Structure 1
Amino acid sequence: MIPSDKVALRAEMRRIRRSLAGNGAVAAEAVARLADDLPEAVAIAIYRAMGSELDPAPLAGALASLGRTLCLPVVIDRSAPMIFRRWTPGEPLEVDAAGCPAPLPLAEVLKPDLILTPLLAFDDFGGRLGQGGGHYDRTFAAMPQALRIGLAYAGQRVERLPVEPHDIALHGVLTEVGYTPARKAAPA
């Protein structure tokens, strides 16, 4: 049973994600083979994996080989939306204000068509449970035109996540078993 309290849910989903990460390299390679399954986009924001997050590095290589422009998120102000800077696999990175690897300040700032986001849990209705800092929700609100796609292990799926007014739904999720568009929630 998944607890409904977000703090307890985050703790449980961190535990689950750590257990899934034992097979992380295989899952990351499987996701890379599914690069063509993502919705069409020219500029794609990815992320650099931290901790037990599914590593998008193989997917980044696959997307670059398909001619997609890549960018990474950059936190400049912890209470503001992130920006995205152009990045090619292998280019140097520095730590941003949130302690995450990010492109150097001279890199071009882009507005991505598609944002791949890490998560702790997801549901079939576009629900996403993040780390709790609000970085992606603030960014999604500032970039409503961008497709929002979660990147996760299939085992991070839950039946239904609690949703708050500030939570912005995903358009879909890519896992090692494929891409799944979000379903519309049934009327109450």
Structure 2
Amino acid sequence: MAAPHIPTPSDLPQSDPPALVEAKAELRRHLRALRAAAPAPGAAAALCRRMGEHVRAVLPPGACVAAVWPLPGEVDLRGLCAGLHEDGYGVLLPETPPRGQPLRFHRWCPEAVMHRGRFGTLHPDGPAARPDLVFVPLLGFDRRGFRLGYGGGYYDRTLAGLPGVPAVGFGLSAQEVPAVPVGPYDVPLPLIVTEREVIRV
């Protein structure tokens, strides 16, 4: 599958126009409140199964998959990480650097010591590695492939430095919105996985 154009770091905007900033902030507030409600029973487990099926369909064992360690309220991918590790995949988790820098991915295994990072994140003490596929978390998404993240720009910068590496958004179907507010520098994801389907843009 051909990767979409990912902006280079020099392409990334210094800031969105004020009206767009406010529109995104308002939608973030709405989605955070929505996420506080309990998801449908089994939805998170179904999402992890579908994500694992996608990895096994497109990558051979030995390839490295970047996932995330859950923050409060996020989908818990620890079962997915354990299953991929058991099947011979490299599992990478991000270390969150100071704002303005891309994420750094470290290899995880069940015995890994986890270190505290910025914003309450955790990352393993394993060696740094380059992913062959990146699962991208989101607060919301639409059918065009646009995602609304947390506002730090970490994944924009990270994907800009990983040309050709597939980026796959993941979230629950309840996080879908009619249209994410976007500007000229927002780039859609080619795939978004939910517990119900794989959305191909």
TM-score, normalization by structure 2: 0.79
What is the CA–CA distance in structure 1 between the aligned matches of 2:98 and 2:193, rounded to whole Å? Answer: 29
For residue 86 of structure 1, the aligned residue among 102, 107, 112 is 107
Structure 1 pair 84/24, CA: closer, same or farther in 2 (3 Å)? farther
Q: Give percent identity, aligned residues only.
A: 32
Per-residue CA deviations over 1:51-104 (Å, capped at 9, x if unaligned) read: 211111122122223321100011233211111011123422111234310112
Structure 1 pair 93/168, CA: closer, same or farther in 2 (3 Å)? farther
Name the stretch that deviates more: 57-66 or 109-118.
57-66
| Residue 73 in structure 1 maps to residue 61 in structure 2 | no
Q: Report if aligned partners of 1:45, 1:116 keep a CA contact under 8 Å in 2.
A: yes
Q: Which blocks of at least 5 consecutive residues in structure 1 are unaligned?
A: 184-188
Q: Aligned residue for 1:147?
A: 166
For residue 30 of structure 2, the aligned residue among 3, 8, 12 is 12
| Residue 59 in structure 1 maps to residue 80 in structure 2 | yes
Matches within 5 A, 1:1-188: 5-19=23-37, 22-23=38-39, 26-34=42-50, 35-38=52-55, 40-41=58-59, 42-104=63-125, 107-181=126-200, 183=201
Equivalent pairs counted in the alignment come to 175
Q: Which amino acid aligns with 2:90?
A: T
Q: Report if aligned partners of 2:94, 2:104 keep a CA contact under 8 Å in 1.
A: yes
Structure 1 pair 24/87, CA: closer, same or farther in 2 (3 Å)? farther
What is the CA–CA distance in structure 1 between the aligned matches of 2:107 and 2:99, rounded to whole Å? Answer: 20
Q: Report if aligned partners of 2:141, 2:176 keep a CA contact under 8 Å in 1.
A: yes
Structure scoring higher RCO (CA < 8 A, sep ≥ 6) equals 2
Structure 1 pair 124/66, CA: closer, same or farther in 2 (3 Å)? farther
Query: Which aligned segments of 4 or more residues in structure 1 are displaced greater than 3 angstroms?
Result: none
What is the CA–CA distance in structure 2 between the aligned matches of 1:95 and 1:43, rounded to whole Å? Answer: 22
Per-residue CA deviations over 1:23-62 (Å, capped at 9, x if unaligned) read: 3772222123221134623210000111211111122122
The two structures, once aligned, show a CA RMSD in angstroms of 1.9
Q: Which amino acid aligns with 1:118?
A: P
Structure 1 pair 126/57, CA: closer, same or farther in 2 (3 Å)? same
Q: Aligned residue for 1:186?
A: none
